[in-house]
Amino acid sequence: MSGSLMPAGPSAVVSGLGTCLPPRVVSNEELSRQLDTSDEWIVRRTGIRRRHVIEPGSSTSVLATEAGRRALKSAQCDRADAVVLATSTPDRPCPATAPEVASALGLGPVPAFDVAAVCAGFVYALATGAGLISTGVAQRVLVIGADTFSTILDPEDRTTRAIFGDGAGAVVLRRGEPDEPGALGPFDLGSDGELAELIMIPAGGSRQRATGVPAAAGGEYFAMQGKPVFKQAVIRMSESVRRVLALAGWSVGQVDRLVAHQANSRILSALADHLTVPHDRVVSNIDRVGNTVAASIPLALADGGLQPGEKVLITSFGGGLSWGSTVLSWPDVIPG
Ligand code: UT7
């Protein structure tokens, strides 16, 4: 159920970081005027105070393109040989969104494709980008995580509307050496499809369409069973972290910063306790952005005030179920 990847040959080195949040901010107070919820409940149960959402007419590719542009600028380069976009809210069900992003960035006819692993998507995309470099397919890869869950939430669902926000983040990976700052270490990736029903959009895919019966009312909306997902998040990320640390030869005590998927501040606390990571080493920006799905990890990397040379542990978990972790020594990059 779980796979690991030790980098073979050249390493993928993080050389740029960029993010994009849509300008519109939705506060807990605004949500409380629309739904039976309160700032007090949302802050106490999730740690979230506000989130960003796109305006009508915008889309995932708009955010992804801007985050990609800023990451390339941060890396002081204007080209990439491949684009890997982690998203579960593509502009359209078909084709992938990454080719349009690559074209909008003027990258030419480079390989570009989407990776769908929901909240674990960015770590899966990082591993994919590292693979493209280690196999010689690309020298430089733009890896983006972008999602606009505001477009798939049930407007009446006070729980999911309180949690999710829109956003995008991207890193540039370049070919380099394993001992360089920024070189991605080993990966631990895994999935468990037996628990797929915990996080899903029931309708709109081949399973529902093959019945010839129109989708049931509300079937097109994202649905999540919060409590079991909470437990799975803590268990799966803890296990994945232990495996990746063993592969990297790091002890928990060596970790300077834990950058975990920002799903709920209580999950971050429970994870830190499970792993015995001091809470002041845990990066958290969930109060300002909520759960931004595939954008969560790069947004946290950019907001975390990470210092060059710090040992950074990244872990993520989401629908599938799927999860993934990796490590790196933080490079001297200025987030754009
Ligand atoms: O990103 C992918 C992974 N996702 C996650 O990791 C999310 C994991 N799950 C969670 O973060 C939490 O389970 C939630 C934040 C989703 C929910 O928190 P909870 O403490 O598990 O609440 P609950 O679902 O057990 O609901 C407790 C109560 C219920 O009321 P009753 O039945 O006790 O009367 C809910 O209806 O809280 C109610 N509730 C709310 N009340 C006010 C649920 N959402 C809200 C809300 N405002 N927004």
Where along the chain do its domains lie?
8-176, 187-329
Average pLDDT of the segment spanning 11-30: 98
CA distances to 155, 222, 228 from 198, in Å: 19, 11, 7
Instruction: Give the pLDDT band (50/70/90) at residue 1.
Output: very low
Asked if domains 8-176 and 187-329 share a fold, the reply is yes
Average pLDDT of the segment spanning 274-280: 97
Q: What is the pLDDT of residue 4?
A: 54
Q: What is the pLDDT of residue 79?
A: 96
Q: What is the pLDDT of residue 195?
A: 98
Give 324's strand partners.
189, 316
Instruction: Give the pLDDT band (50/70/90) at residue 264.
Output: very high
Q: What percent of the chain has pLDDT over 70?
A: 97
Average pLDDT of the segment spanning 24-40: 98
- Interval 287-309: pLDDT, tens: 999 999 999 999 999 999 999 99
Q: How far apart are CA 202 and CA 67, in angstroms?
A: 30
Q: What is the pLDDT of residue 10?
A: 83
The residue whose CB lies within 8 Å of the most ligand 1 atoms, and thus the one to mutate among 30, 39, 45, 224, is: 45
What residues contact 173, with CB distance under 8 A and at least 6 apart? 12, 13, 14, 15, 126, 129, 130, 133, 140, 141, 142, 143, 184
Average pLDDT of the segment spanning 2-11: 62
* Exposure on the CB side of residue 236, measured as CA atoms within 13 A: 29
Of 4-18, 65-79, 160-174, 245-259, give the lowest mean pLDDT range.
4-18
**Does 158 contact ligand 1 (Cβ within 6 A)?**
yes
Q: How far is the CA of 159 from the centre of ligand 1 (A)?
A: 6
257, 311 contact by CB (below 8 A):
yes
Q: What angle do CA 93, 199, 151 make, to 5 degrees?
A: 45
Q: How far apart are CA 17 and CA 15, in angstroms?
A: 7
- Interval 185-196: pLDDT, tens: 999 999 999 999
**pLDDT(7) > 80:** no
Say whether 94 is catalytic.
Answer: no
> How many other β-carbons are positioned within 10 Å of the β-carbon of residue 146?
38
Select 8-176's CATH number: 3.40.50.300, 3.40.50.720, 3.40.47.10, 3.40.1160.10: 3.40.47.10
**Does 162 contact ligand 1 (Cβ within 6 A)?**
yes
**pLDDT(75) > 50:** yes
Give 189's strand partners.
3, 324
**Does 274 contact ligand 1 (Cβ within 6 A)?**
no
**pLDDT(65) > 60:** yes
Q: 261, 264, 274, 279: which one is catalytic?
A: 261
Say whether 261 is catalytic.
Answer: yes
CATH architecture of 187-329: 3-Layer(aba) Sandwich (3.40)
**pLDDT(212) > 80:** yes
Q: How far is the CA of 261 from the centre of ligand 1 (A)?
A: 18
Q: CA torsion 101→107→111→113, rounded to 10°?
A: -10
* pTM of the predicted structure, to 2 decimals: 0.96
Q: What is the pLDDT of residue 6?
A: 52
